[in-house]
Each structure stands twice: as structure tokens, then as C-alpha cells.
Amino acid sequence: MNITLLGGSGFVGTRLLGLLSEHEEDYTLRNIDKRQSEFFPKITELGDVRDPEAMRRAVSGADVVVLLAAEHRDDVSPASLYYEVNVNGMRTVLNAMEAEGVHRIVFTSSVAVYGLNKQNPSEDHPVDPFNHYGKSKWEAEQVLQAWYEKHPDWNINILRPTVIFGERNRGNVFNLLQQISSGKFLMVGSGQNKKSMAYVGNIVSFIRFLIETRRIGYNVYNYVDQPDFTMNMLVKHVGEVLDKHIPTIHLPYWLGMLGGRCFDLLAWVTNRKMTISSVRVKKFCATTQFDAKKAWESGFAAPYSLSEGLARTLRFEFIDPPKDGITFKTE
């Protein structure tokens, strides 16, 4: 099977290429990204999803296209980039696929399409994105929906993962684990809010599962590793893995948001990106629990439990960190 990854030089793409490379007798791999891959340079070519000719060359001869490329950070500027890359890039890729006779695509969307503080939304839950990232991902899905209505012979698989973490990732989960492990962690709120998470090793295994088993139709899947942890449970687990006592101080929500807005002002005045913001405080205190029953009943068996994924990440990052310094920045 010939597989083209678009945006495979990043965190998820690198792990997916690693997994698929373990089965080299089954796959011929190609990665197209606007930056070179740290781990797979021999199969990587530079290209942008907004470039029609580059996309035609990229998908030519592919059996399946895996679209990972996206603008995803909280602080992308100008905000129009979310739509240029995530939405118009989708249109460019689909047109290129049609021109080259490629009819299978796996697209990584996000649970951000549901918005904040929803009650365990399933794939059928109404969407309500609250930021440009979520809105642009939903618009990209709408492009796919409209495309499938006109191309019912295509195979379209959409994956909506919750926040993804793992080794070498530098995003919100890593920042949280780092703060907890430092012993200087301040809990905003009661700590009873549940945080759905997904270990990258399971995410890439599920993408491979979709490639191998979902070859017809239009399919949408949430992905969450079970069971969900509360913030208090997460702090306890970090302490157990690192074998250290983690004291916690609880701040009321209003005070945490006030602090976040102060950092927003400081970022605006200094024109610098801050690790703390009102958006991140809001996301931290939100209940991010999602219904992934459809994925878990699909026949997929995750190779790692959530506890195992967290333990592997903590040991890799804080007990025996690599010396090569290669990391991936996400949210």
C-alpha cells in the first residue's frame, strides 16, 4: 500500500511514520511537509498543502492520503492562517486527489469542534467550537462532508482526538506534567474536573487501524484513552511514577482567570508569548470528557493504557531524558 502523509514531520506524523516503518513489507511511505523531518528525511519532500501543483505531485500514485498538516497552536497570527491552511488546504488536497485518481483519505480533526464544557459528547453531538482552531477544523470537516455527497465512492475517515501527549511533545500536557513534577504546581479550581487525553502511541495505532480496516464509506471517530483522569488523579499518578510527594495548592477559579488576564496584558505589552494565558486557564479548568465508545467498539485494541502512556512519557522526559534535544511544539 502506498501511503502519503501530508504534514508528517511533526509530533503525530513522526510517530506514525515510525509505526508504519516497522511494517515496511506492507507499506511504501512518502511524507510531504513544509519542514524537513528530523527522523525520516529520506522519505520527506518539502511541500505546502496550499500549493496545488505540490499537492498533485504529493498524492500521485498514493492509495491513501493521511492529512495531518494544520495550524493548531493557540497563538497563530494572523488568525486567517487557520482557515488558509486547515480549510483551503483541505480543498487543495481534495482537488489534487481527484485529479490523480486517489479516493481514500484519513483526516485528523479534533474534539475542539465540540467546544468547551460539553457533557461527554459523542460523534453525533452538535458542534460548538469556541476558537479559530476548532472553527477551522469544523469547516474542514464540512468541506469533506460536501465532497462525499458528490463523491460517494470515496473512502473518508475522520479522527477527532482529544489532547495528545507523549515523548518529545512540548504542548499543554507536557507543560502541566513539568509543573506538577517541579512541586511548584498551583491547582486552579477543585481538581475534580476530568481531562480526556490520548497517548500518541495509541493515536498512531488507531490511524493504522483506520487505514487497514475502514476502506469504504464516510466514518467519524472520537478518540480518547480510558478511563479519564481527574486533575487530582493526574497529580497523584505523576507523584507515584516519579516517586516524589507532590504538594498542591488550590486557587479559586476567579483568581486563576484574573491571573491569566494579567498575563494576557503582559503578553500584549511586551509582544511576547506567555506560557500562561486566560485561554489556557479556561481550558485547564474545563471538563474535557468525550465519548469514544464508537472507537472502542470498532475492534481496535489500544496497545497502551492511559496510565502506561503517562508513565512512559514521564520516565522519558523527567527520569532518563534524551540528549539529542529533538522536540515537537504543539498545544
Residue numbers annotated as active site: 133
Strand ranges, E, within the chain? 2-6, 28-33, 44-46, 64-67, 104-108, 155-161, 163-165, 169-170, 186-188, 194-199, 218-223, 225-230, 249-251, 328-329
Which of the 8 DSSP states describes residue 126?
Answer: P
Asked if residues 154 and 147 have their Cβ atoms less than 8 Å apart, the reply is yes
Q: What is the DSSP string of 2-36?
A: EEEEESTTSHHHHHHHHHHHTTTTT-EEEEEESS-
Burial label for 102, CB within 10 Å (0-12, 13-18, 19+), is buried
The maximal CA–CA distance of the chain, rounded, in angstroms, is 59
How many CA atoms, within 13 angstroms, populate the side-chain half-sphere of residue 161?
A: 21
State which H helix or E strand residue 86 sits in: helix 80-86
